[in-house]
Amino acid sequence: MAPVRRYLIAVMAPLLVIACSDKSATESSQAAQSAQPTVLPYGSWPSPISAASLVEGARGIWGLRRDGDYLYWLESRPKEGGRTTVMRWREGGEPEELLDAPWNVRTRVQEYGGGALLVADGVLWFSNFADQRLYRFTPGTEPVAVTPEASLRYAGCSYQSSRQRLLCIREDHRGLDEPVNTLVALDGRDEEEGDVLFSGTDFVSAPRLSADGERIAFTTWMHPNMPWDSTTLHTASFADDGSLTALQVHNPESRESVIDPQWTSTGELLALSDRDNWWRPYRISGESFSAVETGLEAMEIGGPDWSINTRYYYPAADGMLAIARQGSVEHLVYLDGKGGHRFIDTGAVSIGSLVVDDDALFLSAGFADRPGALVELSPDGELRRTLRATRDAALDPQWVPAYEQLSFPLPGGGEAHGVYFPPTNPDATGPADEAPPLIVTVHGGPTSVAGVSYRPGHYYWTSRGFAVLDLNYRGSTGFGREYRRALYGTWGIADVEDAVAGAQWLAEQGLADPRRLVIRGGSAGGFTTLAAHAFHGAFAAGASYFGVSDIEALAKETHKFESRYLDQLIGPYPERRDLYLERSPIHHLDGFKAPLILLQGLDDPIVPPNQSEMIYTALRDRGIPTAYLAFEGESHGFRKAENQIASREAELYFYALVLGFIPADELPPVVIDNLTDENGKPVDY
């Protein structure tokens, strides 16, 4: 019980003040009225950025498409349980919603979805989340199901007007083994499950019709590959009966990731490949890949295809528009196809979907200093108007920290990357002789990347006196294939080393308190958080959102898409079972010393709840201060507003107790085993 007593000394006094919200509210008011920033302990700074404000008036905007006079998009709403609806707008009007609750536009193909909506000639088809059936409707009418009530999922549909049918990816869950992914044709008007056009591979993705509708391109891959490892590009024509004919494989011995196939208006085939370390566009004829000269250095046009139908470039008559990533920042760039390029100054640092009109660009854009928005731009990038913001209100810029992309050295040589956000509060400052506590945030994937667009979730911490390092550890996207593949075989080692090295390097620079380093992450980032606690003593606390504690159990239980992912990250299973045991935090409980909070959705098919439950039980029984919060109805990632609020407040309460500061917020108590009783009060030893 010695570790518990040590932490109780730090938490007894803060708990007394947490229970007395009147005092903290008074201090908050006094600080806000002060002309000069008030010196306050880090972590205790009063902030207007509440957990509730992170979801109030918030919405996600993506999936832009143009049909006739209308611009359509998908919009997710945390306040409606994460429901996704369809919106549209046309010149002279206001955005209007087309689907009321309980309709929820979201497909579970590959579990991560994508390509859930198709619009053609004023008709909409969408995948409904509750039953995964495809529905057809025209605005003003009730949706009608066009696929049967069965264990089938659909995504990435295109409309083939010459045959008046849909071409879709179908995922069939009716078998006893893993689901079967195929390319199918559907009438789209009457109820049917679809005729299989292509099968025989583990995965099919990105079906793209040529402009005349007479040719199709798509990608496939086989276990144990992921779509960012090795994919195969196919094209085919259509026979008189609508089946595929003249099927061609363009890279038969693929050791590259080929993604996002598209056709030019003249029928030329384009695709992205990472064969030259960086994803970039290629012109393809037969088995010949000819690089489109971009003139760009150390920039990525492309990314990991976790979802269906992601687009990274848009062919035009005289070149293409492309979304190019440089580290954590995305740029919109015009490529003339001959080596020339021109950056279009949109003011955005992240770029979602894009619609290119003759004289306008419609873009879902993320900005560093304000909420993202659906905007209309001139062809040169000049802002014409904002059609829809991702938030109803924006923070005063004084509360938005200036980010810094940084690289730091690794003990074994080389470097890793991240984005640093300093503590930022116009009304408060920390003691001159102290450095701030640091939260190292570890993204999931692990192929994701830390972004720099408007991040209220980060500002929740920075406004209270925390520094944040959003880590781009080895394995992240945006730094080339070699950096992405540097995690292969070393997951649980390299990512943890990078987290520790980044935190300690910032401490050496005087930008973080080495005694108050915190690590948090979700999914793969949750695994890194747990592994850091199991194998290193650098962090004083941690928060794992649906993290992996037992890699072997994950290999046996996770869904098809990721069922062989660990072959690359760890080693083939069961041949290298020794590595799975060696890297799993659940088998190294002696290393856990620091307090840990675990948060888990109970409907998570990707990282099942038992991953959090088993590590919680083990640590609780060993006397480690541990909290576990489980959320009904949540899948992989929290979509419901009430759960986003509860999890954020629980984290702050947890950090206050274990790091020993007095938060200015009135927070619901959280039970921390071996630290508090059932009311969140310190246990009496």
User: Per-domain residue ranges for the chain?
Assistant: 2-55+395-659
> Pick from 644, 457, 430, 464: which is nearest to 47 by CA?
464
Question: Within 10 Å of residue 657's Cβ, how many Cβ atoms?
Answer: 29
In the prediction, which pLDDT does 317 show? 80
> Is 552:573 a contact under the CB 8 Å cutoff?
yes
Q: Which residues contact 22 (CB under 8 A, 6 or more apart)?
A: none
- Residue 117, strand partner residues: 126
End-to-end Cα, the chain, rounded Å: 9
Structure confidence at residue 14 as a pLDDT band (50, 70, 90): very low
Buried b (16+ CB within 10 A) or exposed e, 54-67: bbeebbbbebbbeb
Give SS3 for 500: helix
Residue 184 and residue 152 in contact, taking contact as beta carbons nearer than 8 Å: no
Region 298-324 average pLDDT: 94
For domain 2-55+395-659, give the fold: Rossmann fold (3.40.50)
In whole angstroms, what is the distance from residue 42 CA to residue 466 CA?
A: 7
Residue range 310-318: mean pLDDT, rounded: 92
- For tokens 């239980």, name the residue: 557
Provide mean pLDDT across the span 111-135. 97
At residue 35, the pLDDT reads 65
Alpha-carbon separation of residue 263 from 216, 460, 661 (angstroms): 9, 44, 58
The Cα–Cα gap between 475 and 487 comes to 5
* Cα–Cα dist 499/469, whole Å: 9
If phi > 0 it is left, if psi is from -120 to 50 it is alpha, else beta; for residue 478 that is: left
CA angle (581, 585, 589) in 5-degree steps: 105
**Mean pLDDT across the stretch 371-394?**
95
- pLDDT higher than 90, residue 458: yes
Quick check: 581 and 587 in contact, CB under 8 A? yes
Determine if residue 515 is left, alpha or beta; phi over 0 gives left, psi from -120 to 50 gives alpha, anything else beta. alpha
Q: Is the pLDDT of residue 28 over 80?
A: no
| pLDDT of 5 | 28
Both tokens of 242, joined, read 């609508």
Residue 224, CA atoms < 13 Å, CB-side half-sphere: 13
Bond from prior residue into 102 cis (ω within 30 degrees of 0): yes
**Span 628-635, average pLDDT:** 95
Local confidence band at 176 (pLDDT 50, 70, 90 cut-offs)? confident
Higher pLDDT pick, 23 / 551: 551
| Mean per-residue pLDDT, 393-411 | 97
At 358 the pLDDT is 83
Q: What is the mean pLDDT of residues 401-419?
A: 97
Across the chain, mean pLDDT equals 93
CA distance linking residue 311 with residue 207, whole number of Å = 12
Pairing status of strand 70-77 against strand 350-356: unpaired
Pick the range with the lowest mean pLDDT from 5-14, 48-57, 68-77: 5-14
Q: Is the pTM of this model over 0.75?
A: yes
CA–CA separation, 228 and 447 (whole Å): 9
Transcribe 182-206 into DSSP letters.
EEEEE-SSS----EEEE-SSSEEEE
Tell me the average pLDDT across 17-23: 36
User: Which residues have a Cβ under 8 Å from the Cβ of 656 and sit 6 or more positions away?
Assistant: 11, 14, 18, 43, 662, 663, 667
| Residue 24: per-residue pLDDT | 42
Given a cut of 50, whether residue 10 has pLDDT beyond it is no
The predicted pLDDT at position 16 comes to 31
User: Crossing angle of helices 641-659/2-18, nearest 10°?
Assistant: 120
Q: Is the dihedral of CA 16, 17, 20, 23 positive or negative?
A: positive
Q: How confident is the model at residue 15 (pLDDT cuts 50, 70, 90)?
A: very low
